[in-house]
Amino acid sequence: MVPVNNTLILSLLTATATKSVEARVARARDGDSREREELIRDYTPFILKTASATAGRYLTVGKDDEVSVAFLAFDEAINAYSSPRPGFLAFAATVIRRRLIDYYRKENRRDEVPFSSIAPSDDSEDWAVDVQVSRTYDLEGWSKVLERRDDIERWQEALRSYRLCLKDVAKAAPKHADARQRAMSIGNVVATHREIRDRFLKEKKLPIQELLAVLPDDLRVSKKTIERQKAYIMAIAIIVTHNLGSLREFLEM
């Protein structure tokens, strides 16, 4: 496990310094043909990975018709996405999956539509990758970078709704590994205990007194400790409640 620590937070801050995919999509949608071409080129690994996951098998550029369908679907997603908020990649993945399902149905291969295209998926495990394509585009590495950047942007937006930023999280992060692990576990309690989670999401603040009352014995800490680590605990709870899969890789939950 790689714990969420100050070094990680700083790297996330660096990653989000680049222009967001949503800003690029807006320019492409408004008629910037060069930006559109660069978007499709830069996100080719993401398109191929999503298509392979939906097909449930290896897909190769120039060989499989599904690849062309996926590229057209990504272009369609650029035209259709109008929100400035983070989330374009999730939207584009949905469009790609739907267009591929339509393609299978049109080809009268209903029985061949893979279960993975309609079942909940674990992004870290169920996406098939063609070895040849992987070598050409560094598919796995780039896809993870793009997914993580999207999740980071969603995380930052969620943090702002709680009047937090990544610098607050880094400052509140415990310095010792055992203390960090305990704080992460407490954040998980916030996200999974129904009453605590509901208050947390509704009031946008940590219900410290109620949280202390439900912590198991092995997570017992003082109120002062909770207050000192509050931003960090809240950030962990946000990752879990918002299902930011690529960021949960850093957590042992």
Position 83 scores a pLDDT of: 77
Q: Contact at 8 Å (CB) between 130 and 58?
A: yes
**Buried b vs exposed e over 62-96: b needs ≥16 C-beta within 10 Å?**
eebebbebbbebbbebbeebeeeebbbbebbbebb
Q: Where are the domains of the chain?
A: 17-159, 164-248
Say whether pTM exceeds 0.85. Answer: no
- Give the Cα separation of 129 and 51 in Å (integer): 9
Encode pLDDT of 24-66 as tens digits.
999 999 999 999 999 998 898 889 989 988 888 888 888 888 9
pLDDT digits (tens, 9 = 90+) for 171-201: 898 888 889 889 999 999 999 999 999 999 9
| DSSP string for residues in 89-139 | HHHHHHHHHHHHHHHHHHTT-GGGS-GGGTS---TTTS----HHHHHHHTH
Residue 145's pLDDT is 59
Nearest-10 crossing angle of helices 44-55, 88-106? 50
Rounded Cα–Cα distance for residues 15 and 9 (Å): 10
Tokens matching residue 42: 């830069």
Report CA Rg, the chain.
Answer: 21
Q: What is the pLDDT of residue 143?
A: 54
With a cut of 70, which residues of the chain have pLDDT below it? 1-19, 108-149, 245, 248-253
> How many residues appear in the chain?
253
Per DSSP, helices labelled H in the chain are 6-15, 21-29, 33-42, 44-55, 65-80, 88-106, 131-137, 139-161, 166-172, 177-192, 194-203, 208-214, 223-228, 230-241, 245-248
pLDDT at residue number 85: 75
